[in-house]
Amino acid sequence: MSARVTEHLSVATYLERERISDVRHEYVDGAMLAMAGEKRVHNRLARRFVLLLEPVADEKGCEVIVETVKVRTRDTRFRYPDFAVSCDAGDDPLYFENPCLIVEVLSDSTDFGKKLDEYTRLPSLQRYVLVASDSRFVVVYRREGARWTVESLEDTGEFDLPCLETTVTLEAIYAGIEFGS
């Protein structure tokens, strides 16, 4: 869940305030939205992607961000995905503009509809992955040319990540995860 700040800010002011803030804020068309805290299982699932994919990303010359670095989705929008990968060395030091993979761990505060629209408009994005935090369930959006396809995986299965030239299994994502914490 997020709280809207009523003051209208420029992108430069937002970036400066966010740099020194103790609280993360997304930025949507001039408004700063404070990010809510999440349950431990949410954090464990986001960390799982780091453990699984950071070594692969390093080999490919790509960079991984988790929860504390922004993605610029439009000129006036910045979001904090739970996990993202960019293989573009030209990305800004404060945020990704060209991620090839974004992962969101679903929770009560996830604004799925708006983020889906924003993320899938990024020309560099190849996969957008939604991970349930209350069951073994993953939704994978795949860019196929100019369109997106969607696949749901429950309990078991795997999906590919082209920019990292690897696959990920639900078994690996959910290993050791206990729901309800």
| Per-residue pLDDT tens digits for 128-142 | 999 998 999 999 999
State the total domains in the chain.
1
Mean pLDDT of 21-36: 80
List phi, psi (to 5°) of 109. Answer: -95, -5
Longest CA pairwise span in the chain (Å) = 46
Check if the beta carbon of residue 143 is closer than 8 Å to that of residue 126: yes
In percent, the amount of the chain with pLDDT more than 70 equals: 91
Report the distance separating Cα 53 and Cα 47, nearest Å.
Answer: 10
Say whether pLDDT at 108 is over 80: no
Query: Looking at the domain assignment, is residue 169 inside a domain?
Result: yes
**R_g (Cα) of the chain, nearest Å:** 16
For tokens 């609280």, what's the residue? 23
Region 9-31 average pLDDT: 85
The pLDDT value given to residue 23: 79
In a domain, 7, yes or no: no
Q: Which of 170, 180, 178 is nearest to 52 (CA)?
A: 170
* Residue 28 in domain: no
The CATH code of the domain that includes 144 is 3.90.1570.10
Residue 35 banded pLDDT, cuts 50, 70, 90: confident
H or E stretch at 166: strand 166-169
What's the pLDDT score for residue 147?
96
**Per-residue pLDDT averaged across 40-66, rounded?**
91
Domain of 67, in residue numbers:
38-174
Q: Please state the pTM of the whole predicted model.
A: 0.86
Backbone angles phi, psi at 17, to 5 degrees: -65, -40
The Cα-based distances of 34 to 4, 89, 103 in angstroms read 7, 29, 20
Burial grade of 104 (CB within 10 A; 0-12, 13-18, 19 or more): buried
- Asked if residue 96 is part of any domain, the answer here is yes
Q: Is the pLDDT of residue 1 over 50?
A: no
Give the amino acid at 112. Answer: F
